[in-house]
Amino acid sequence: MTRVLINGIDSHLGAQVAQRLSVFPEVSIIGLGRKTPPAPVGRADWLLAHLSGLQMVELLRAEAIDVVVQLAFVEHGASREEAVQQNVLGSMELLGACAKAGVQRVVLRSHTALYGANPLNPTYIAEYRPLAKINGPGWLRDVFEVEQFSAEFAARHPQLSLVPVRCAPLIGDSSPLITYLRQPNPSMLAGFDPCLQLLHLEDAAGGLAMAALSHAPGPFNLASSDTICLSQAIKLAGGKAKIVLEPVVSLAFAMGNRAILGHWPFELSFLRHSCIVDTCRAHGDLGWAPEHSAVDTLMALQADEPDLARRELAAEALRAFLERRNEGVHDE
Amino acid sequence: MSDDVRQNQRPEEQPGEIEEEIPVMSAPPPPTPRKAAAMGNRNAPPKPPVFAEEEEELLVTTPPPPVQRARTSAPPPFWSDRQNDHAHDDDVPISGASASSLYENELELRNLAEQTNTNVDAMGKLAAGTLKLIADNMRQMTDQQIERVNEMLRGIDLKDYLDPAFWQGIGMILRYQVDEQMAFIKRRMSGQYVTDAYGMDREIIDLVRPSLMFLYRTWWRVSVEGVEHVPAEGRALLVGNHSGVLPWDGAMIATAVAEEHPAQNQRLVRSMHLHWFSTLPFVSPALAALGQVPGLPENAIRLLEQDELVSVFPEGLKGVGKLFKDRYKLARFGRGGFVQAAIRAQAPIVPVAVVGAEEIYPMFANAENLAKLLGMPYFPLTPFFPWLGPLGFIPLPTRWSITFCEPLRTDMYDPAEADDPLTVLGLSELVRTTIQATIDRRLEERSSIF
């Protein structure tokens, strides 16, 4: 019996991971989050709470958790202070609690952008490549900080195996890259057209679930097996690229105007160079293979857009309605 | 495509060759009478019409010597490929007609050039090569664009290449074609296309191939030796000497393999370029589209493991930014990284010696301070650059030779030996001396740089 705790079950990704794990009868799953899960979570039981470090230890001990999957990251929508609190300090607290409660394995969601976009990187970046120093947007800096801290933490706690799973930009839920692609005129740099890898939400969930149940040491890269040029990605998402000159961008940056690139979620260098990862290790050690190509994922995004939003609205309304009804029944 | 055989032939072998080709090339119009008439009508012929008529006679009637027959029919896939190619041309009525009449003209100019004195001969060959470039480009154009080119062509006397008006007209057509190609690339930017992770784009490669072929055949008149040493399939690492300020040598090696290899499978060579080029706007996506890859050992190993042909220039910057006075002296071969990659991937190493590329931009000095200021690895000063502006980018039309040497096997080494400096540096030195010796031999054979 493997007991898994998913921290961040209140995200689409968390719900999907829970579903994937529910397939295995010998796995018991507990979800931890702050809101109700937005999608079905299979056999998982969930707890909606904001636990402190010691309460977390108590929970982990009481449930005899073996594996923790850490997905509770805020990428956008929260204030900077709140985000650091949850992303960095929350992860540190969780790692500390895991070490104390004797958890064997922690799977940490991370990002491929941590390798940086650099012409000195090989075109396919493998996991042994050192991470680049991130100066860019806040959420990526948080992910970097968590990886750095967890590497140090793992060195000091050899009994706990820490597995960062570096995912390419996710498509399927709201994500910073989708915000960028959904703009009518996303910005691109003149004279550059980097290639992108994407990752469908379902493939990401599959990879995280496999990483949770396997005993292979990490880290693992997860990404679609095909690549797509940025100009093509913009086109498939239904927009038209706005070309900006690099000196103009640099000048605007120097003057503190970061808005010139619109919602580009990465550093400026990612508009110049590709950041493509090698997923051989996930294929070999986890037996993971992506089911969705980057192109299909983006096409589906364009097709589903209104549909998806409508379905989500309806689901929320239904949930609220049923809750109200239930309360009414109990009152009577 | 169709003149590669012709070029390699000695003049006395030509009749047999042409007799083979005429039915294929000029399928729509019956060639001889029309051509003869055209020749007769001309006012200022570079040679008397009688002569030309005689030549036509010669072409059609002389029975080819039996030995020749045997030679031309020896590699059957080669010929059958070619015929299919032209048969395909004829499917498109307009392009087929106008492109093949251009090929005819090209052939004619070449034949004329054979018999005149040397200066005019060079001019005639250039004219023929240019016509072929236009015709090759036309094969990728739409019907409307072809109609436009045909309109322009009607104003030009295609046989009178000594008349400045000929060159003016040709220049106009070429400019139109380049404009259309740029427009095509731009249109495609907003359309759908696929590239691999390195950014390689097959359509762009096909688009520029005629221009590369023009440089290869007409501008630099490359002669190739030993191209059969490049494996027809499977991995191999081509190691060349780098020279000539701008990396044209890589493009010519790739063209040689694509066009001259006996297997005729148009194999692509992935050239490794200096990663500095990846930081340049427009240059970086252009190189990537043409199949070039940043020169990092991981990339080389990965491509070799996918059974690709990879070409590297271990001299790197020291080679390409070489001064004219140091020409044909190979610089240090880096730290043997290319040998490590070959041993790890168990790929044979094919040393390649390029002669002629050193003189295309005779660089007499390197303005190092200026280069540093501009963030460039070197800033060349040649007799033409930067004094003549963009004209300084035109390379000199030297005569090139590319020699592919016997492959050096690496499969007798254990992949772990890639970490042994003695093995690696020894093999690297062996490759270097092989290339140097081949260059020296080819230099001795060469009578003039043009």
**Structure tokens of A218?**
């990490």
**pLDDT of A267:** 85
- Judged by a CB distance cut-off of 8 A, whether residue A240 touches chain B is yes
Instruction: State how far the alpha carbon of A5 is from the alpha carbons of A172, A213, B403, in Å.
Output: 23, 12, 64
- Judged by a CB distance cut-off of 8 A, whether residue A124 touches chain B is yes
Q: Which residues contact B216 (CB under 8 A, 6 or more apart)?
A: B222, B252, B255, B256, B259
**Structure tokens of A199?**
């990752």
Indicate if B216 and B124 belong to the same structural domain. no
DSSP per-residue string spanning A15-76: HHHHHHHHT-TTEEEEEEESS--SS--TT-EEEE----HHHHHHHHHHHT--EEEE-----S
**Structure tokens of A159?**
């009994």
Facing residue for B197 by CB, picked from A124, A272, A273: A124
Burial (0-12, 13-18, 19+ Cβ within 10 Å), A182? middle
**pLDDT of B8:** 41
DSSP 8-state secondary structure symbol assigned to residue B386 = T
Confidence of residue B204 (pLDDT cuts 50, 70, 90): confident
**pLDDT of B37:** 38
User: Which chain B residues are within 8 Å of A124, Cβ to Cβ?
Assistant: 197, 298-299, 302
Q: In Å, how far is B290's CA from the nearest CA of chain A?
A: 14
Closest CA to A199 of A31, A12, A24, A23: A12
Is the Cβ–Cβ distance between B202 and B268 less than 8 Å?
Answer: no
**pLDDT of B117:** 66
Lowest mean pLDDT among A263-277, B115-129, B398-412: B115-129
Does residue B375 lie in a domain region?
no
Does residue B387 lie in a domain region?
no
In this predicted complex, what is the ipTM? 0.81
Mean pLDDT of B122-133: 82
Indicate if B27 and B163 belong to the same structural domain. yes
Facing residue for B284 by CB, picked from A192, A227, A235: A192
Confidence of residue A181 (pLDDT cuts 50, 70, 90): confident
The count of other CB atoms within 10 Å of the CB of residue B416 is 9
Residue B352 to residue B439: CA distance in whole angstroms:
9
Residue B304 to residue B278: CA distance in whole angstroms:
21
Confidence of residue B11 (pLDDT cuts 50, 70, 90): very low
Indicate if B253 and B154 belong to the same structural domain. no
User: Which chain B residues are within 8 Å of A238, Cβ to Cβ?
Assistant: none
Indicate if B244 and B312 belong to the same structural domain. yes
Residue B11 to residue B18: CA distance in whole angstroms:
11
Indicate if B270 and B317 belong to the same structural domain. yes
Segment A112-133, tens digit of pLDDT: 999 999 888 999 999 999 998 8
Element (H, E) at B182: helix B164-189
Q: How many domains does chain B have?
A: 2
**pLDDT of B343:** 95
- Judged by a CB distance cut-off of 8 A, whether residue A232 touches chain B is yes
Mean pLDDT of B396-424: 92
Does residue B379 lie in a domain region?
no
Residue ending a domain, among B145, B164, B192, is B192
Segment B161-175, tens digit of pLDDT: 777 788 888 888 888
Average pLDDT of chain A to the nearest whole number: 87
Segment A209-250, tens digit of pLDDT: 999 999 999 899 999 999 998 988 888 888 888 888 988 888
Segment A276-316, tens digit of pLDDT: 999 999 999 999 999 999 888 888 777 655 556 667 777 77
Indicate if B124 and B173 belong to the same structural domain. yes
Which domains, ranges and CATH numbers included, belong to chain A? Answer: 2-322 (3.40.50.720)
Q: Given a cut of 90, is residue B380 above it in pLDDT?
A: no
Q: Give the CATH number of the domain where residue B280 resides.
A: 3.40.1130.10
Residue A153 to residue A104: CA distance in whole angstroms:
14
Measure the CA dihedral A41/A42/A46/A48, to 10°.
Answer: 20
Identify which has the larger pLDDT, B265 or B433: B433
Angular region, A253: left φ>0, alpha ψ -120 to 50, beta rest = alpha
Q: In Å, how far is B47's CA from the nearest CA of chain A?
A: 50
Residue A177 to residue A171: CA distance in whole angstroms:
8
Lowest mean pLDDT among A268-272, A273-277, A297-301: A297-301
Average pLDDT of chain B to the nearest whole number: 76
Give the start-end residues of each E strand in B296-342: 309-312
CB contact under 8 A, B296 and A273: no
Mean pLDDT of A140-169: 92
Which residue of B185, B188, B194 is the best one to mutate when testing the A interface, meaning the one whose CB has the most A CBs within 10 A? B194
Indicate if B188 and B207 belong to the same structural domain. no
Residue ending a domain, among B192, B221, B240, is B192
Indicate if B9 and B154 belong to the same structural domain. yes
- Judged by a CB distance cut-off of 8 A, whether residue B278 touches chain A is yes
**Structure tokens of B303?**
């491509």
Q: pLDDT above 70 covers what percent of chain B?
A: 76
CB contact under 8 A, B294 and A119: yes
Q: Given a cut of 50, is residue B42 above it in pLDDT?
A: no
Residue ending a domain, among B137, B168, B192, is B192
Residue B413 to residue B423: CA distance in whole angstroms:
9
User: Which chain A residues are within 8 Å of B284, Cβ to Cβ?
Assistant: 191-192, 272
Phi, psi of A242, rounded to the nearest 5 degrees = -105, 125
- Highest average pLDDT, of B62-71, B236-245, B383-392, comes from B236-245
CB contact under 8 A, B276 and A192: no
**pLDDT of B191:** 66
**pLDDT of A138:** 76
Q: Given a cut of 50, is residue B23 above it in pLDDT?
A: no
Does residue B369 lie in a domain region?
no
Facing residue for A119 by CB, picked from B278, B281, B282: B278
Mean pLDDT of B102-130: 76
Containing domain of residue B186, as a range? Answer: 3-192
Does residue B198 lie in a domain region?
no
Indicate if B84 and B230 belong to the same structural domain. no
Mean pLDDT of B23-39: 38
Residue type for position B342: A
Identify which has the larger pLDDT, B12 or A326: A326
Residue A156 to residue A145: CA distance in whole angstroms:
17
User: Which chain A residues are within 8 Å of B192, Cβ to Cβ?
Assistant: 232, 235-236
For tokens 């009525």, what's the residue? Answer: B93
- Judged by a CB distance cut-off of 8 A, whether residue A298 touches chain B is no
Mean pLDDT of B29-56: 38
Q: Given a cut of 50, is residue A103 above it in pLDDT?
A: yes
Strand partners, A221: A166
Closest CA to B401 of B222, B258, B238, B234: B222
Indicate if B9 and B77 belong to the same structural domain. yes
